[in-house]
Structure 1
Amino acid sequence: MSEHTHIIGKGAAIRFENLDTDQIMPKQFLRGIDKAGLDKGVLFDQRFDTHGNLRPEFVLNRPEYADTRILVGGANFGCGSSREHAVWGLQQFGIRAVIAPSFGEIFYSNAMNNRLLLVMLPRDVIEALMDAVDADSHNAIAFDLQTMQVTTPIGTFPFELSARHRSMFLQGLDMIGLSLRQRADIERFAQQYWQAYPWTKNVAQRTRERLGTT
């Protein structure tokens, strides 16, 4: 069983409708210049009180859900601003997939391009699945990217992905990896472009040299 074709893990219910990217990754965690440490910001205001203490009642703070890999969320999950940090943070936190009735459009693109699997199922199925994963902390949810089915404690359901996104998961590629498969064509185009417009090559580097800021 390949990790590219199957995603398996414990599910936890996040019972919020319209959970936006500022809630998933608050703005105070966007100050760094790299991706490091974003797991600390995931759902910060839900996980911690105003004094910085863990909220023991929140599902992801409960010891039995410490190894959660799948979130079962409400409608319009990930709405709001374009914040790729929300995706990176969820992945650093250990989340590999989210199931919800619907997703914010930009969040959906960011997630799938980074290989965080998002699956849409009908609202009544989601509500029943939330109850099931709440009732059993030993639950398991398994996605099969070959058959395009997800097996849950309440049954097995088909799901849909675009051909491009499915191919990316099956090949273990994110958007950068997918682009680099065209590297030879990209470099060939660049060389032809610079031959036709030589003054555009390495503009930033030549500007820094001229300004003495290298």
Structure 2
Amino acid sequence: MVQALDSLESATERLRVHPRAPRLIVGCEPALAERWLIPLLAAAPPPGLVVVELTLLDPGGGRAVPHLTIAWQDIGGEMHTPTSPLPDAFGPVHHPLALPRRPCVGATRIHTRSWPDAWERWERAAGQVADGRAGEVFMADLALALRGAEVGLGRAIVPEALVREELADGRLIAPFGFRPLGRRLAIVPSGNAIMPAALLPVRRDFIAWLHREAQVSSGR
């Protein structure tokens, strides 16, 4: 997992099609980059002469400030895109051999610091009551929470769109299904980065490409 996060910023180096092409810096959550954006870039590179540099959302540590950020955002907050490129369905998943297929009795719940009320939202949407015997584990982000679910640590609330392959091949199961929980994917032009005029159409075309390819990939 550490290696996957460390490689995020250089993962699209091979997609550089021209050394003098404009460089669009895209900040993305690690789980989204690893399970959605990087495979999308590999399957259908963006059109035109554009260099896509992926970075983490936190611009600390000498990282460049993104021109565009891709992250989960509450629907009640300010949305910068009229539609989301991914479905807004979320639900608890776990390793098929780690836990019983019944309501979350005594099952360890994996929380993420980036979405601390995910389990509360799920309980309200599903009409479930928290089990006092359930253990609690806290992870920094969704990528670590997903990894915890994959290795049998417990159950994690995750976006359906990021675990389709794992559900299809049986690495994860979602016995309670997926529901809207008031959260969706937002593609947000950054107001903090220095944005050369030449990059404005590049960013616009990249956002359009994201929406188009997301629809194509969901139908594959």
Say whether the fold is shared (TM-score over 0.5): no
Greater Rg, structure 1 or structure 2? 1
Higher strand share: 2
TM-score bucket of the superposed structures, by smaller chain: under 0.3
| Larger RCO: 1 or 2 (CA < 8 Å, sep 6+) | 2
TM (norm. structure 2) is 0.21
Higher helix share: 1
TM (norm. structure 1) is 0.22
